[in-house]
Amino acid sequence: MNQLLRLLVVLAPLAAAAQQDSGGYNRALAAFNAGDFDTAAPLFFQASESGGDAQVRGKAEYFLAQSLAKQGLLVSAFISYAAIVNAGPSHPSYLKGVEGLVDMQQQLDEQNLIPSILNQAYSDEVRDQWVTLPKEVLARINYLVGTVSQRRMRFEEARTLLEAVPKDSRVYSKARYLLGVVLADPRFPGRPGEGDALDKEALAAFNVALSGTEPQVELRATQHLALIGLGRLHYRRGEYAEASAAYEQVPRYTRYWDQALFENGFARFQNEDFGGSLGSLQALHAPQFAGAFQPESWILKSTVYYYSCLYDEVKTTLAAFDALYGPMAKQLEPFAAEDGDLVQAFNLVASENKGLPRPVYLWMRNNERIREVMRVLARLDEEKQTLRTGPWRGTALAKQTVAALEDVRGTLLQVGGTLARSRMREAVDNLRTFSDQAEIIRVQTALDEKDLLQAGVDQKALLTRQSLYRPKMPGPAWNYWKFQGEFWIDEIGYYQYTLKRGCPAKTPETQTH
């Protein structure tokens, strides 16, 4: 009897605490259902922080995340959902937490942290549970985790995840595009033996993305990327006319048009359409792209002239490359250290430009993942301000949430710094590589000019005897306008050069040697 009394004495405070927690949770739930999230959130926070019933705490954590999301504090809500997911399947609101995290990813369009959290959580242990999630939620998880697998070059895993996205999902077109990228990657296991079969599947995946209809997430941008993916696939296969046809379908002045112009220049060059190649580069070098970082485009331009034995034009083009990109290389030297503070590296891109060459600065800021870091950081800072000045100011909820936001801010700065440093190194490497190529072309041009001189070839007379003709018209609806140094916005993208050829005709004797 005495033992029973002692047990009741111990259990009585616990029961009282549980009753108190349940009461606070019930008041919070009533406020939540009434749409009074200002009242509900602090009460859910108190219930989640109590030492009482685990079921009540778990539900309170979930509804706290819901309340934060309802108030538009999406980054704060993402942190709360992530805590539930990281707690694992034993958490009472585990699957709802996964669903909430995916919803926050969609609303924030966050591509760096949330996909990594989902990738880490998507283990064999939980796979059977996750298949019970709503169909669209699971489809988005497979796509997001597939993006992580693709970045980490786990291509077979990425393929499995992306192929699991069903046709009725709103991310189906994005999944098909990325599947095409995965299958077309030269590093995909099974190449080169299975190369043709993989290329055929990649081609089919890109075409499915191109045939997508609304409502699809970012459908137009995805289709433009699919066109570039098609162009790259055909180019790698030596199908240069098909590659050019794909690039030319990317609409003018859309986000990826400058990339399509650049790559189409290569496709046309390889297809021996030298005038078309220069036409693409002419558009790319228009004033509208004055801030673009495209050093390789000038190397391609000089190469086209070199293959036409137009040596004066080669030298003029390389001089323009040197004038434009030589100073940039020197400007980048102080920023190109292998090791450095990641936050400082990110701030070079995120803040107002105070030292980087403008084309490099814009090129780095245009990186999709860097832009996403900047956008989420801006939203995070807005939420911190709201918590410090809004209805919850001074509360334990506000203080703890602001501290959690600071932690995420630090992580995002590290991610952004890593991306910025990688982009910076790429810019430095590109300038070094293409400067070396420019020097090779310059030396080879001088040698070829010497050979012509020693052979007694009068190249100027050779060029004088040739005539320049209007380019072939694509159809009756087209007009010809001679370029006279002015770039008109409705003409950019439609340029076509006609070239003379400064190479002497090969005699049968020279052809056999």
Cα angle, residue 469 at apex, residues 466 and 475 outer, rounded to 5°: 155
User: Residue range 298-321: average pLDDT?
Assistant: 97
pLDDT at 2 over 60: no
Encoded tokens for 479: 């007009």
Whole-angstrom distance, CA of residue 286 vs CA of residue 301? 14
Q: Which residue has the higher pLDDT, 348 or 200?
A: 200
Q: pLDDT tens for residues 59-103?
A: 999 999 999 999 999 999 999 999 999 999 999 999 999 999 999
Q: Please choose, from the candidates 111, 162, 105, the residue with its C-alpha nearest in 3D space to the C-alpha of residue 139.
A: 162
pLDDT at 16 over 60: no
Q: pLDDT tens for residues 219-272?
A: 999 999 999 999 999 999 999 999 999 999 999 999 999 999 999 999 999 999
CA 479 from chain centre, in angstroms, equals 38
The band of 51, judged by pLDDT with boundaries at 50, 70 and 90, is low
pTM of the model: 0.90
Encoded tokens for 382: 């807005």
Say what the pLDDT of residue 507 is.
56
Contact 178, 144 (CB under 8 A): no
Q: Which residue has the higher pLDDT, 486 or 186?
A: 186
Say what the pLDDT of residue 338 is.
63
pLDDT at 512 over 50: no
User: Residue range 110-125: average pLDDT?
Assistant: 95
% the chain with pLDDT above 90: 80
User: Residue range 450-476: average pLDDT?
Assistant: 89
Q: Please choose, from the candidates 104, 101, 103, 81, the residue with its C-alpha nearest in 3D space to the C-alpha of residue 91.
A: 81
pLDDT at 6 over 50: no
pLDDT at 112 over 70: yes
User: Residue range 154-163: average pLDDT?
Assistant: 98
Whole-angstrom distance, CA of residue 112 vs CA of residue 117? 9
The band of 473, judged by pLDDT with boundaries at 50, 70 and 90, is confident
Lowest pLDDT segment from 119-133, 140-154, 339-353:
339-353
Q: Which long-range contacts (CB under 8 A, 24 or more apart) does 438-447 make?
A: 438/298, 438/299, 438/302, 438/318, 438/321, 438/322, 441/299, 441/302, 441/303, 441/306, 441/314, 441/318, 442/314, 442/315, 442/318, 444/306, 445/306, 445/311, 445/314, 445/315
pLDDT at 427 over 90: yes
Cα angle, residue 111 at apex, residues 370 and 354 outer, rounded to 5°: 10
Q: Which residue has the higher pLDDT, 394 or 483?
A: 394
Q: What is the DSSP string of 215-273?
A: S-TTHHHHHHHHHHHHHHHHHHTT-HHHHHHHHTTSPTTSTTHHHHHHHHHHHHHHTT-
Say what the pLDDT of residue 402 is.
98
Say what the pLDDT of residue 18 is.
43
Encoded tokens for 88: 């694992």
Say what the pLDDT of residue 196 is.
96
Whole-angstrom distance, CA of residue 424 vs CA of residue 412? 18
Sign of the alpha-carbon dihedral angle for 147, 148, 154, 160: negative
Whole-angstrom distance, CA of residue 452 vs CA of residue 510? 13
Say what the pLDDT of residue 53 is.
85
The band of 513, judged by pLDDT with boundaries at 50, 70 and 90, is very low
Whole-angstrom distance, CA of residue 4 vs CA of residue 1? 5
Q: pLDDT tens for residues 269-289?
A: 999 999 999 999 999 888 888
Say what the pLDDT of residue 22 is.
65
